[in-house]
């Protein structure tokens, strides 16, 4: 069974620090990876997508992908209390052009 694994947390960091969120996946041939942010009681919203090995930066967010290690991470620089949320890692199924497998999420707490 294809799986996406995340540490449930909570990951607690002080304001201004770098938060590092990690995700591993079981399907070696997966090609597309997504990070969604979900505030408590709200729906998931896409914050980053990454398809190639290496880093992809968007503002304070950097997604990192290592397909050989089946590992994808999200770095949040200069963390703010408003970043406190659950971050869901999602991997597109290799044999599907549209279906995602979600991890259970990591809860991030940014302390003022």
Nearer to another protein, 43 or 112 (CB): 43
User: With the CA atoms of 61, 82, 7 and 98 taken in that order, what torsion angle do they form, in degrees rounded to the nearest 10?
Assistant: -60
- Give min distance, CB of 73 to another protein, in A: 17
Token code pair at residue 82: 């408003």
Q: Which is nearer to another protein, 4 or 19 (CB)?
A: 4
Instruction: Closer to another protein by CB, 1 or 69: give it.
Output: 1
Nearer of residues 44 and 72 to another protein, judged by Cβ: 44
CA distance 14 to 4: 27
Q: Determine the 3-state secondary structure of 104 from DSSP.
A: coil
Taking the complex as a whole, the smallest distance from the CB of residue 94 to another protein amounts, in Å, to 13
Rounded to the nearest whole angstrom, what is the least distance from the CB of residue 107 to another protein in the complex? 9
User: Do residues 13 and 96 make contact, with C-beta atoms less than 8 angstroms apart?
Assistant: no
CA angle 39, 45, 49 (to 5 degrees): 130
Binding positions for another protein, rule: CB under 8 A: 4, 8, 32, 34, 42-46, 49, 51, 88, 92, 97-100, 102-105
Q: How far is the CB of 84 from another protein (least distance, A)?
A: 16
Q: How far apart are the first and last CA of the chain?
A: 40
């Amino acid at each position: 069974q294809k799986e996406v694994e995340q540490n449930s947390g909570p990951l607690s960091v002080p304001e201004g620090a770098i938060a590092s969120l990690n995700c591993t996946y079981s399907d070696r041939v997966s090609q597309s990876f997504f990070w969604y942010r979900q505030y408590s009681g709200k729906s998931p919203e896409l914050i980053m997508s990454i398809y190639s090995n290496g880093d992809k930066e968007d503002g304070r967010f950097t997604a990192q992908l290592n397909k050989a290690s089946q590992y994808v991470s999200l770095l949040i620089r200069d963390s703010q209390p408003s970043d406190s949320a659950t971050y869901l890692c999602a991997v597109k199924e290799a044999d599907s052009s549209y279906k995602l497998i979600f991890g259970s999420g990591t809860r991030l707490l940014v302390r003022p």
